[in-house]
C-alpha cells in the first residue's frame, strides 16, 4: 500500500539467501494504471559489490585521515609519549582492541615504552619489563619482518605469559621497521580470536608512522646526549682556561716585575736586549691567555659591556701606540690617515681597543720584512669605518671564513713560522659583532689583506 502511494521510488533493503544469510539489495519500484487497474513493478538488484567498494572507500578515507593526524603529530612534537597516545587513539577508530603495548629495541633488548588501555583496567606491566629475544614471537616477527596474530590458549612463551597475566587472550605482533628494526607493536584484546588477517595491511600501513616516530625520538635522544656531553666538555674547557689564566698570569706578573728590576741594573747592552726580549715574550704569553679567556667568555655569554660615548680616533691611536714597538721589531712601517678626529661612537672602550689591537697584530705578524700597514679611519653616514691594510702573505681564495674560527690557523707551516693560537681574529670579530658592527675582509694571496671594521655611531 505504501509503495502504491509513493509511486516511483528506490530504496535499499536486506535480502536473504536460501541458507539464511543476508545481503544488501536495492529495490526500484514504479506504478502505472491501465484500464483502471494499478500495476506495480519492482526491480531488485544485488548491491553487495557496490557496498563493499563503498565500505572500502570509507575505510580508506579513515586510514588517510589517521595517517595525516599521525604525520602532523610526529612532525610537530618531540614528545614521544604524545605520539604514542595519539597513535593509540587514532588506531582505536579503525580497529577494536583493548590495549596496545609499544616496545623499543635498544642494544638488542626489547624494552616496554608504554601501554595504552581502552575499556579495561590499567596494565600491570611496568616499563622495567624486558622481553628476551630468544624463543619469542618478537624474534620470529623481527627476523621474518612479518606481522603475526597470536591466540593465547596455553601461555607457554615469554610474551604469552606476560600478556596472559595482564588479562590478554589474543594479540597481534607488528615489527616496527625503518632501515632497521626499531621496535614492536602489540595490539591486544581480552577476547579470544579477536583479530583476523584482513586487518594486517591496515595495521602495517599505520605502523610505518609509529616506526618513524620511534626512530626520530631515538635520534633526538642521541643528539641531546651528544649535546649534553659537548656542553660538559665545553664547560670543563672554559673552567680550565679561567684557571690557567689565573695560574699563568700570577707568576708572569712576578717575573715581569723582576725583569724590570734587572733591566734597571743591567750594565751591558747584550743583557738589556735579553731582558727586553724576555719581557716581549711574556707580554705575548699574556695576550694569548687573554684572547683565550675572552673568546671563552663570549661563547659562554659571560661578559659585561661598559658602553659609553667614546672618541673612536682616540681608541685607534692608543691601539697604534701599544703596537708601535711590535711593528718596529718586525721591521714593519705603520702609516695612518685620519679624515675626522671627532668621530664618536657608543662602545666599550676596553673591548673595542682589544679588537683593533688584534687586527693590527695580524697585519704586523703576517707581513713581510720591510712591509707596510696602512690605517684609515672615516665616517660614512651613520657608521664609522676603519680600514687596516697590509702588504703581507694574504689569504688563499676560499679560506677567508676559516680565519675567524677560534684556535685556527690555515696550515701548520704558518703556525710554525709565525706562531700564535689562531684566536686573535675570532676575538676581534666577536668584539665587533657585540657592538652591532661588521668585519669585512678583502685579500689576495701573496699581495696582502684589508680588514674593514664598520661600527654604527649609535
Quickly state the pLDDT bin for 133 (edges 50, 70, 90): low
With cell 611496568, the residue in question is 126
Record the pTM: 0.51
2-46 CATH choice from 1.10.287.470, 3.30.450.20, 2.40.128.20, 3.40.50.2300: 3.30.450.20
Q: In this structure, what C-alpha cell is assigned to residue 331?
A: 721591521
**353 neighbors 319 (Cβ within 8 angstroms):** yes
Task: Quote the CATH superfamily of domain 52-221.
Answer: GAF domain (3.30.450.40)
Name which CATH class applies to 304-456: alpha beta
Give the three cell numbers for residue 291: 684572547
| Contact indicator for 445, 397 with CB cutoff of 8 Å | yes
Under 8 Å between Cβ of 113 and 102: yes
Cα→Cα distances 185→78, 142, 254, 337, Å: 20, 11, 70, 75
User: Do strands 438-444 and 372-380 pair parallel, antiparallel, or not at all (unpaired)?
Assistant: unpaired
The residue count of the chain comes to: 458
Convert the pLDDT of each residue in 153-185 to its tens digit: 888 887 888 888 889 999 999 999 988 889 999
Write down the residue that cell numbers 536495492 correspond to. 26
**Alpha-carbon gap, residue 164 to 156, rounded angstroms:** 10
Residues 6+ apart with CB under 8 A from 14: 22, 23, 24, 25
Cα separation, 323 vs 427, in Å, equals 17
Asked whether this chain's domains 2-46 and 52-221 adopt the same fold, the reply is yes
Any bridge partners for residue 443, and if so which? 449
Q: What are the sequence ranges of the domains in the chain?
A: 2-46, 52-221, 224-299, 304-456
Residues 6+ apart with CB under 8 A from 73: 82, 83, 86, 213
Encode pLDDT of 347-395 as tens digits.
999 889 999 999 999 999 888 889 999 999 999 889 999 999 999 988 8
pLDDT in tens, 254-295: 887 888 888 777 778 888 778 878 877 787 777 777 777 777
Look up the CATH number of domain 224-299: 1.10.287
Q: Which three cell numbers stand for residue 397?
A: 681564495
Amino acid at each position: 500500500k505504501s509503495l502504491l502511494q509513493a509511486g516511483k521510488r528506490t530504496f535499499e533493503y536486506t535480502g536473504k539467501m536460501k541458507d539464511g544469510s543476508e545481503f544488501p539489495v536495492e529495490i526500484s519500484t514504479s506504478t502505472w494504471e491501465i484500464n483502471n487497474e494499478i500495476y506495480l513493478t519492482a526491480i531488485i538488484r544485488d548491491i553487495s559489490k557496490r557496498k563493499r567498494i563503498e565500505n572500502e572507500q570509507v575505510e580508506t578515507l579513515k586510514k588517510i585521515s589517521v595517517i595525516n593526524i599521525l604525520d602532523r603529530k610526529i612532525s610537530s612534537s618531540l614528545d614521544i609519549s604524545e605520539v604514542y597516545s595519539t597513535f593509540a587513539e587514532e588506531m582505536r577508530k579503525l580497529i577494536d582492541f583493548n590495549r596496545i603495548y609499544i616496545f623499543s629495541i635498544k642494544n638488542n633488548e626489547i624494552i616496554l615504552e608504554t601501554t595504552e588501555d581502552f575499556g579495561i583496567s590499567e596494565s600491570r606491566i611496568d616499563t622495567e619489563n624486558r622481553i628476551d629475544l630468544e624463543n619469542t614471537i618478537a624474534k620470529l616477527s623481527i627476523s621474518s619482518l612479518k606481522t603475526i596474530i597470536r591466540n593465547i590458549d596455553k601461555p607457554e612463551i615469554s610474551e604469552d605469559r606476560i600478556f596472559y597475566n595482564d588479562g590478554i587472550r589474543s594479540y597481534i605482533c607488528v615489527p616496527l621497521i625503518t632501515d632497521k628494526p626499531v621496535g614492536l607493536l602489540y595490539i591486544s584484546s581480552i577476547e579470544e580470536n579477536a583479530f583476523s588477517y584482513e586487518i594486517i595491511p591496515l595495521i602495517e600501513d599505520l605502523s610505518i608512522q609509529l616506526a618513524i616516530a620511534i626512530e626520530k625520538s631515538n635520534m633526538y635522544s642521541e643528539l641531546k646526549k651528544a649535546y649534553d656531553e659537548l656542553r660538559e666538555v665545553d664547560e670543563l674547557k672554559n673552567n680550565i682556561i679561567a684557571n690557567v689564566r689565573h695560574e699563568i698570569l700570577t707568576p708572569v706578573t712576578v717575573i715581569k716585575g723582576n725583569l724590570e728590576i734587572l733591566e734597571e741594573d743591567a750594565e751591558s747592552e747584550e743583557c738589556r736586549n735579553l731582558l727586553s726580549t724576555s719581557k716581549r715574550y711574556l707580554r705575548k704569553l699574556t695576550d694569548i691567555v687573554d684572547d683565550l679567556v675572552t673568546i671563552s667568555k663570549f661563547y659562554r655569554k659571560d661578559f659585561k659591556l661598559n658602553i659609553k660615548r667614546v672618541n673612536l680616533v682616540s681608541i685607534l691611536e692608543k691601539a697604534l701606540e701599544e703596537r708601535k714597538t711590535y711593528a718596529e721589531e718586525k721591521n714593519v712601517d705603520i702609516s695612518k690617515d685620519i679624515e675626522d678626529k671627532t668621530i664618536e661612537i657608543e662602545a666599550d672602550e676596553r673591548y673595542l681597543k682589544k679588537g683593533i689591537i688584534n687586527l693590527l697584530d695580524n697585519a704586523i705578524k703576517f707581513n713581510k720584512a720591510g712591509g707596510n700597514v696602512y690605517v684609515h679611519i672615516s665616517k660614512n653616514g651613520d657608521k664609522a669605518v676603519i680600514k687596516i691594510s697590509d702588504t703581507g702573505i694574504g689569504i688563499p681564495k676560499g679560506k677567508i671564513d676559516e680565519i675567524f674560527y677560534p684556535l685556527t690557523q690555515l696550515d701548520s707551516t704558518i703556525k710554525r713560522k709565525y706562531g700564535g693560537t689562531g684566536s686573535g681574529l675570532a676575538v676581534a670579530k666577536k668584539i665587533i659583532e657585540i657592538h652591532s658592527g661588521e668585519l669585512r675582509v678583502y685579500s689576495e694571496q701573496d699581495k696582502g689583506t684589508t680588514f674593514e671594521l664598520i661600527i654604527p655611531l649609535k
